[in-house]
Amino acid sequence: MIRRLIKKVFGKPARPAASGPRIIPLGSHGIRREHINPCALKTTRALSEAGYSAFVVGGAVRDLLLGLEPKDFDVATNATPEQVRQVFRRSRLIGRRFQIVHVYCGSETIEVTTYRAAAPEKEAEREAEEDDDTRVAAADGMLLRDNVFGSQEEDAERRDFTVNALYYDPDKEEVWEWHGGVEDAKKKVLRIIGDPNQRFREDPVRMLRAARFAAKLDFHIDPATRAPIAELASMLERIPSARLFDEMMKLLLSGHAERGVRQLRAEGLHHGILPMLDTILDHPERQKFLHVALHDTDERVRHGHSASPAFMLASLLWFDMQAAWARNRSRGQSDQPALYDAMDDVLERQRDLLAFPRRFDGTIKEIWSLQPRFEQRSGARPFRLLSHPRFRAGYDFLLIRAKGGDAAQELADWWTRFPDASDSEREAMLIKPQPGESKSKRRKRGPRKTADGEAAIEVKLG
């Protein structure tokens, strides 16, 4: 009776696989061979001709069922990585925890994975015989290493969500499913495979993936899947910071960042995952700026433009940098040294927390250092700024600041008109020096106080 009540309240876990897959014909799913990437077709065909089974798997099948255009086409096979390498001359082994093969086809790369073995609880007797290069689990159930191969049924059981455990056979144009993923896709339900508590303990990042997929696909998370998230959220603290950074960038640059951040907050996953995000979400007056930055990034992705991790990081860390700059100036540093010290300090502090790559530093610093220069609208300075290689990125950042209430809209409008104006119009737009002010003297304003008492930067730099 108690079990029935729990199921009624929390829903049901993904049903275990039957004795074989449910095979869905073309007439019931509508995915035709021509919908598949040609390089993925060549890959599955070559593996089949070599005597192996090969399916297009995961997100590509899910997206095609939902009428979306897949970003990637991955292949799963019963061939081991070494056997895949023997089939494809242009290929490369990737990874340590679970080796995959990158098959190169023209300018494209097809990721080929070998079927993984069943979940640890089904393999207790096998683990005693495995060496250090196979599966290792911590005392709390978190998987540390996994190099065990298995069948397609086992592989389906090891995948995270039912809608990602779908296999498409291009030869027969059939979809094979083991856990009801097609039905869940139709109902827009995100359901984890197996026991949610155990699966999240095995890999806590699955909780972040649940939030990301729910936002990306506009799915609702199955109640049984959601139930243990609040209790287990602290396990994310054990995840290497570089992996957390990668997962958060996937969310923030997915084209659904605004909805994704809301989903993180709804699941209680936002605190501590991305410290730079906490500093904004914990200050209501900064949230408008964040939502504008996320919305504009989402729009870029939806219109087929690239989204820059450096630009997103510049947005998330902008308020921290402003506060550090103001502190440096209050200690007697002059404007420019105070700015560059603030940029270095903020980036190094965040790198210790999140381990984001140094290759983004240059772009972030240029975007930030250009902001005071937009205030300078007299003489030759606007013309010099137009020729700066990062002008467009700095200008886009200025627009976000204006929409988010951090810069004057008049300033953003001025810079929107200036680049395309005629020479005579540009001359008329230039701001004349104030009476009594020498051309060489730079006008400075004291820092404007924000709602939380921090000083916002409105100084003029050369």
**Does the annotation count 72 as an active-site position?**
yes
Q: At what angle do helices 318-330 and 335-354 cross, to 10 degrees?
A: 130
Report angle CA 94, 119, 154 to the nearest 5 degrees.
75
Strand partners, 56: 75, 168
Decide if 105 contacts 43 (C-beta within 8 A): yes
In order of 21, 135, 230, 295, the CA distances from 176 in angstroms are 6, 27, 33, 37
Q: How far apart are CA 193 and CA 457, in angstroms?
A: 50
Tokens read off for 373: 């220069």
Q: Which residues contact 447 (CB under 8 A, 6 or more apart)?
A: 326, 329, 455, 456, 457, 458, 459
Tokens read off for 185: 């896709």
At residue 100, the 3 state secondary structure works out as strand
Q: How far apart are CA 85 and CA 91, in angstroms?
A: 6
Strand partners, 92: 102
Decide if 113 contacts 81 (C-beta within 8 A): no
- H or E element that contains 216: helix 205-217
**The dihedral sign for the CA sequence 234, 249, 65, 17:** negative
At residue 168, the 3 state secondary structure works out as strand
Helix, strand, coil in percent for the chain, rounding step 5 = 55, 10, 35
Q: What is the largest CA-CA distance in the chain?
A: 89
**Does the annotation count 140 as an active-site position?**
no
**Does the annotation count 345 as an active-site position?**
no
- 74, 155, 222, 296: which one is catalytic? 74
At residue 396, the 3 state secondary structure works out as helix
Q: Is 141 exposed, middle or buried (0-12, 13-18, 19+ CB in 10 A)?
A: middle
- 155, 160, 222, 406: which one is catalytic? 160
Tokens 């420019």 identify what position?
Answer: 336
Cβ atoms within 10 Å, residue 148: 20
* Single-letter code of the amino acid located at 359: R
Residue 412 — φ and ψ, nearest 5°? -65, -40
Tokens read off for 218: 């506009």
Residues recognised as catalytic: 72, 74, 160
